[in-house]
Structure 1
């Protein structure tokens, strides 16, 4: 909708009301502010929710892959054949054997429930970026070295170089009954995955050491699988599920963490729906400011009509005026949202410091820091929503202005 020089001049004049129209300017400023805040809130909330999903998926997949092939009874005797079959499946990027068993650990009189993980040398090497102290390369078969999560280290007071005791209740049988198996391991490294539950429980060791500790011989508990498209993991591993039916079960990340991700998706949709009403409120503010502007400029409109201004010109002038208010608020909202997202962690820490409350407790939030990931498509939809509602809000006042009868207005002038 192109404007003529006359139309653009009048529109600019109405965007900057004079001193006698301060109240109209105030209402227009409030409209800009409300649009800005509503757009910023939508951008911030949707980016944080996307960040939650992406960060959780990344951290969970980093330890468990996109899916696991788990044997019935917890022992997979023919795991080499199944591993080869999984690796040859189209769409599978990586597959490796894994042992995972809940046990107990003790150190200095403190006892904690743990999850012992026996990994291959390649999987252990992949954990190197997550190590906060120590050397994870020291985890070699027969070395009796382990790596533990940072929260577990804090809970039991262990540091690199300390010796912790891992207790396996399924010990050896003796004439006096079953004696729990207790083995001492040196803490060679401490890692931080970023998910509280993992950092609190995981103890990583070479697979051979895990097999010795659990007395399971040359068997594994499961095979973890990584695919090229996480959203198609069920479809990609369907042939594997059919091949191992009766011996093992294939569980993907959607199934294993279904409660968490479904709750996250529901909350994401609900928040987007609720915050969209803020944009609607902003549109009503634009409508009210334009209605006031039209009423204040009724005499000017009548004069312009007598001077030859068409109804179409007046319609374009007031639509442009209101739409510009919405556009300015939208751009300002995008800038504000970007700034808040960039400084999100310091903002959370500052609010917590002022209020004295721990706003980001890892025990509750699963993640150690507040994540965020902006989705260009969602941001584009937010912008279209704000601009679309702003445009619709201008139609009624603009139509009223264009329908002004100059004879009725100027009759008594």
Structure 2
């Protein structure tokens, strides 16, 4: 909005408190702070929700792939030719044989439920989610037939195991004897402890070479599934469509959207709901701008009448009061963006401080999935929040500006 020189002078004059206008200035300051807090809260919440989705997607998909070819009955015979066909499918980046089975592990009298995952050693070492996540030992020490495993940090804590400990993994489906089925128990050396940051994975997963998993589960040369990664996770179904008829007689293809549908749909619903609720907070904040401008117009009625008699047009007065209101909104938006970004940067420190003050555990990894509060700020989303708040601020100025422009100087100055 382009203002003339005298309009700018009057606008700046009205933005600062005059004699006897301290209350109006207080209301305007409260308006600015309210807009600031609303914008900051919306930026923080949306960034955290984006971070949740991004972290869960990266770590869940990083360990499980974009899709899996799951064999009927948990077994996939004659898998090598199918593996080759999968790798040759257009759009497939990688395909890896894998075995996954829930079992039990024991160490020093402690027993924990685990998820055994058998993979080729090269696939374990090249997994992006596990890369750099080893907190003790070395996954590079995993070797076929060496009876060595890598376990999650929270599983190690629950068992009381550490690098060098020998845990026993129990397969209830052991060998049959005249006296019944005897569970299969094999001892493994822990050579690495990892922490990927997802509670369920760190609490249960045990990685071992695929050959050892086949021996433990009595699978022979069979595997359980083929893990697939594609060029575009969002279009995984279209990419793998040509592969569906080729695996129909041996298994089914399940993509990440199906495996985690309820989780990601819940996050999306929560994201929309939080956006709407916090947008209402900003809307309530701009009502303070409306009230402060109405009071300002009432206080400046005589000044407005004098300006009209000096030749100021209705459009000129409208521009002045719209600029005053939107300036308050813009200052609040700028402060809110700064406060929001600062809060995001120090988010974990804030949570730790609140936990220290209240004595409550606000971030339980067993409930929240992730060990730390994530955040991912989208610049376009921040811009959208700023534009939304600016739109609300602009709309709040229209009625006071209209009332100011409608002032009749004859009526106001009749008895002057």
Distance (Å, rounded) in 1 between the aligned partners of 2:250 and 2:77:
10
Match of 1:122 in 2: 122
Instruction: Give 1:156's aligned residue.
Output: 159
1:388 aligns with 2:357: no
Query: 2:360 — aligned with what?
Result: 357
Structure 2, unaligned runs of 5 or more: none
What's the counterpart of residue 329 of structure 1?
Answer: 332
SS at match of 2:132: helix
* Offset at residue 122 of structure 1 (A): 2.1
The equivalent of 1:271 in structure 2 is 274
Answering whether residue 382 of structure 2 is matched by residue 379 of structure 1, we say yes
Residues 36-63 of structure 1, C-alpha deviation per residue, up to 9 Å, x if partnerless? 0110011000000000000000010121
State the distance in 1 between where 2:401 and 2:189 align.
Answer: 77
Provide the C-alpha distance between the structure 2 equivalents of 1:382 and 1:246, rounded to a whole number of angstroms: 51
CA distance in 2, matches of 1:133, 1:228: 33
How far the C-alpha of 1:246 sits from its partner, in A, is 3.2
Structure 1 counterpart SS, 2:116: strand
RMSD of aligned alpha carbons: 0.9
Deviation at residue 178 of structure 1 after TM alignment: 1.8
Given the alignment, which residue of 215, 228, 233 partners 1:212?
215
- Tell me the residue number matched to 1:165: 168
Distance 2:131 2:143 in 1: 14
Query: 1:179: Cα distance to partner?
Result: 1.2
Shift of the alpha carbon at 1:214? 0.8
1:88 match: 88
Q: Following superposition, which runs of at least 4 residues in structure 1 exceed 4 angstroms of deviation?
A: none
Q: Describe how 1:12-411 pairs up with structure 2 within 5 A.
A: 12-125=12-125, 126=127, 127-411=130-414
- Normalised to the residue count of structure 1, the TM-score between the two structures is 0.98
Shift of 1:94: 1.3
Tell me, what secondary structure is at the counterpart of 1:184? strand
Name the CA distance, whole Å, in 2 between partners of 1:82 and 1:397. Answer: 72
- SS of the residue 1:378 aligns to: helix
Matched positions, count: 413
Aligned equivalents of 2:35, 2:257: Cα separation in 1: 37
Per mean C-alpha deviation after superposition, the further-off stretch among 80-89 and 191-200 is: 80-89
Query: Shift of residue 219 of structure 1?
Result: 1.1
Kindly indicate whether the alpha-carbon contact (under 8 Å) linking 1:68 and 1:223 is maintained by their aligned counterparts in 2: yes
- The answer to whether the 8 Å contact 1:128/1:136 transfers is no
How far the C-alpha of 1:405 sits from its partner, in A, is 0.5
Q: TM-score, normalised by structure 2?
A: 0.98
